[in-house]
Structure 1
Amino acid sequence: MVKKKESKSSLEKALDLIEILKEKDEVGVTELSKLLGLNKNNVFRLLATLQVEGIIQQEEETGHYKLGKRVLYLEYAYLKGLRFLREAKPFLKELKNIFNETVYISVLHSTDIVYIYAEEANRSVLVHSRIGKRYLAETAAPGKALLKAKKLKKADYIVEYDFESLEPEVSEISTVLWDDKTPKAAISIVAPISRLNPSNILEFKEKLLNIAGKVSSKLSGK
């Protein structure tokens, strides 16, 4: 969500605008003006700059604005630069194939947890994708795991659970990926409560920790 301040730089305003478009898909100038707390002239100037750079684009039929293709290029460049993600990908697929449930990688960003990558399950009933979603770290299983990990002086097994508290009928189990003593990211399994629940959580926990251990060993060069 957009965080209001008394005074913001143009960059901060532009980032707020991008955050709104990420959450709402398409938005008109009037709504953007209200959400940003800016007059329409300021909004038009921000939109014009971002449109020239390909960050946003305007729909011809509605006149509304949405994120442009360049955002995808920036996202790709960011993900490509993450060593831990490159090392983790084969193991994420392995974990996904064990249960045929969606496996996520997420990272801390300020006080939030952001889901940045997923290996999607191949099932008829799936949970809505969390890619690009952000939540307060203290409210989501991966966020809670990483917050605990940051307080430790060495790598340790940390497992956090969420049974429907973040999203109705959805469960999550998460642990930490370590690079030696540094917590780099969280790995989690997200599934409907009917398939991931207290009655079978130990099986998920065992496999999740096994995969996380393999990734952490790879990252630490062990």
Structure 2
Amino acid sequence: MKDIAIIGAGGFGRETAWLIQQLGGWNLIGFFDDNTNANTGFADIKILGDIDAVKKLATTTALVIAISNPGIRQQIAEKIGDGFYFPSLIHPSSSVGHPSNHIGNGVIVTAGVILTTHIYLGDFTIVNLATSIGHDCRLSKFTSIMPQCSISGNVTLGERCFVGAGARVLQSISLGSDCVVGAGAVVTKSFGDTAKLVGVPATEVS
């Protein structure tokens, strides 16, 4: 089995540890987190050091960045740099395997996700529990989709977008980079970069 380590020992890090256990075939050696005293919730999986300590690992070790904040996830990926392998982890209960779909490096897809066809998931994208993504969607790198979202067909999300739990993005909408969609919002029109959207229908707030 190939060694793998998780960067981030918070709630999503623990969920990712469970995902790795469900997948099998990996030897999870531990977590890296700047809070080295964090409780991992697993008696047999320890924190191995802070994030800087990752660079001491053998480059044959696979890494997964299990942090929901898109900007922080990008900072860590760039800090670690090239040389490490970032596999994509897809829960076996998810349906993502159509050959027209593109899954980038370092992507995490948790349980119950449905992708249809001709979907692009950029590097280090997170798609969380029971989310559905329709045809021809493009999720740019470092985007985070929280649980039970619905992304309709032909939607484009720019880099580092964050879509809160239970939100809906309707068909053919485009959001620029660094947009935040609040939990439960329904996005009915396109917005540019850095939009913060809440409500039904979603409106921009400062």
Instruction: Compute the TM-score of the two structures, normalised by the length of structure 2.
Output: 0.30
Task: Give TM-score, length-normalised by structure 1.
Answer: 0.29
Bigger helix share:
1
* Between structures 1 and 2, the one with greater strand share: 2
Indicate the structure whose relative CO is greater, using CA pairs within 8 Å and at least 6 residues apart: 1
Greater radius of gyration (CA): 1
